[in-house]
Amino acid sequence: MSDRKCVLIIDEDLPVGVVANTAAVLAVSIGKFCPDIVGRDLFDCAGDVRRGITTMALPTLKGSGDLLRDMRGKLKEYEPDLVVIDLVGATRVTKSYEEYAEALAETPEEELQYQGIALYGDKRIVNKFSGNLPLLR
């Protein structure tokens, strides 16, 4: 998998709790679409099972909401070869997945507020979009 890379890019202006939630949602979603990045279960010295975790680095980078919107538009030409998962602000005001689906379907692209984007795929393509972004600290 050395030719593959996965990154999370999150709006640096979000409150810390929303940043943490955005990272969690994006990571879980990447795990669904890219199960090969999760390692096998392991055993500790007592013989207890420890569930597999990611086998590759998962850097969390920062950018602005405008950067995320612009990037999302440019990423479309690389799908489906590149796995792209985005999370928008509607998740903070809807109370169910169905309400989120409705809000997403009814909101024009230019009004979406991107909280974060996860990318997984060819390292060169991922680096093209994320290589100059700093770590979120």
Tokens 């679409």 map to which residue?
33
CA-CA distance, 33 to 25, in Å (whole number)? 13
Closest CA to 27 of 14, 11, 8: 8
Q: ω into residue 108 within 30 of 0, thus cis?
A: no
Q: How confident is the model at residue 2 (pLDDT cuts 50, 70, 90)?
A: confident
CATH code at 87? 3.40.1490.10
Does residue 30 lie in a domain region? yes
Per the structure, the complete domain to which residue 121 belongs is given by 4-129
pLDDT score recorded for residue 1 = 57
Convert the pLDDT of each residue in 38-85 to its tens digit.
Answer: 999 999 999 999 999 999 999 999 999 999 999 999 999 999 899 999
Beta strands in 34-88 (DSSP E): 42-43, 49-50, 60-63, 83-88
∠ CA(114), CA(58), CA(20), 5° rounding? 50
| Number of structural domains found in the chain | 1
pLDDT of 21: 95
